[in-house]
Amino acid sequence: MTVAREELLIAAIADLIAAPHPHPARHAAVGAASPIPAHAVMLARHRGLDVRLSLLQQRVGNPFTEGARELFDLAGQGRIDLFFLGGVQIDGQANINLIGTGQPAGSSARLPGNFGSAFMAFTVPRVILFREEHSPRVLVPKVDYVSAPGVSPPGVFRRGSPQALVTGRCVFTFDAPRARFVLASLHPGETRESVREATGFDYDEPDAVPETRGPSESDRAALAGPIRAALEDTYPQFCARVFGARAA
């Protein structure tokens, strides 16, 4: 059985969630339209990590009794350890743009908006950036609009910086003190050259760059079984696409 691209990304993010980090991921929250990160948190749990997932969009049994307001209050207090952000553009300093490209930003095509990014990037100690499209138009030298900055000057309150950026081609970790990405692993089929060519910003490349570790058979069984069952009500279209139609 071939591993679906989504399964590979889920496994890669699950590895990052479990990676040693000064801020252990005890409580992860997932916002709107993030099925791959949500599945990754559930997979990390399945592999034994003691992490709680709060799913903002969950309709039945929603984890909050004060909706999104409670999510942001929790984050403000530092009670959410891990969150996921993406962007129409992401630059080499881990700045993200959720508004759109052009000058003024959004003039070429207007995207939905900032959501909570301008707050979560500061209050949540661990952020994993995720964007499937890996091309020079997404990974740019400098974003046209900063929805959330990757780093901040000393004296500006923030609990952490992005831990990593996961794309459809590779995993970059983020070196916050230097505000630079480091190529950490290549997805199957990619090379150092193919990634360099598809990336609009400069980054570091260590001597050894392994292949991204995909999901194990146990991971895949869990994803198609209990994890799907837990997330299907929230992400019906994603689950049907990746794991196939439900047997009648």
Partner 1 sequence: MTVPLDSLDALAARVPDGAFVALPPDNSLCPVALVRALIRRGVRDLSVLGVPISGFATDLLIGAGCVASLTTSAVTLGEAGLAPRFTAAMKAGALHLTDATCPAVHTALQAAEKGVPFMPLRGMIGTDLLPQRPEWKVIDNPFADAPDPIVLIPALAPDLALIHAAMADRFGNVWVGRRRELATIAHAARATLVTAERIVEGNLMEDERLAPGVISSLYVSAVAVAERGAWPLGLLDLYGADAAHIDAYAKAARTDEGFRAYLAEHVLGPLPKAAE
Q: Which residues form the interface with partner 1 (CB under 8 A)?
A: 32-33, 57, 59-62, 64-70, 72, 75-76, 98-99, 105-106, 109-123, 145-149, 152-153, 155-158, 233, 235-238
**Beta-carbon contacts of residue 77 (< 8 Å; ≥ 6 apart):** none
Shortest distance, position 139 Cβ to partner 1, whole Å: 19
Cα 65 to Cα 81, 106, 144, 204: the distances in Å are 20, 34, 37, 44
Shortest distance, position 103 Cβ to partner 1, whole Å: 11
The nearer residue to partner 1, 75 or 170, going by C-beta atoms, is 75
CA gap 46, 228 in Å, rounded: 12
The nearer residue to partner 1, 58 or 135, going by C-beta atoms, is 58
Shortest distance, position 110 Cβ to partner 1, whole Å: 4
Tally of CA atoms within 13 A in the half-sphere of 131 that contains its CB: 23
The nearer residue to partner 1, 67 or 188, going by C-beta atoms, is 67
Shortest distance, position 66 Cβ to partner 1, whole Å: 5
The nearer residue to partner 1, 42 or 209, going by C-beta atoms, is 42
The nearer residue to partner 1, 152 or 191, going by C-beta atoms, is 152
The nearer residue to partner 1, 70 or 175, going by C-beta atoms, is 70
Shortest distance, position 30 Cβ to partner 1, whole Å: 13
Query: What order of strands is seen across the sheet that includes strand 52-55?
Result: 52-55, 27-30, 82-85, 126-131, 162-167, 170-175, 180-186
Shortest distance, position 209 Cβ to partner 1, whole Å: 31
Cα 117 to Cα 5, 114, 226: the distances in Å are 26, 6, 30
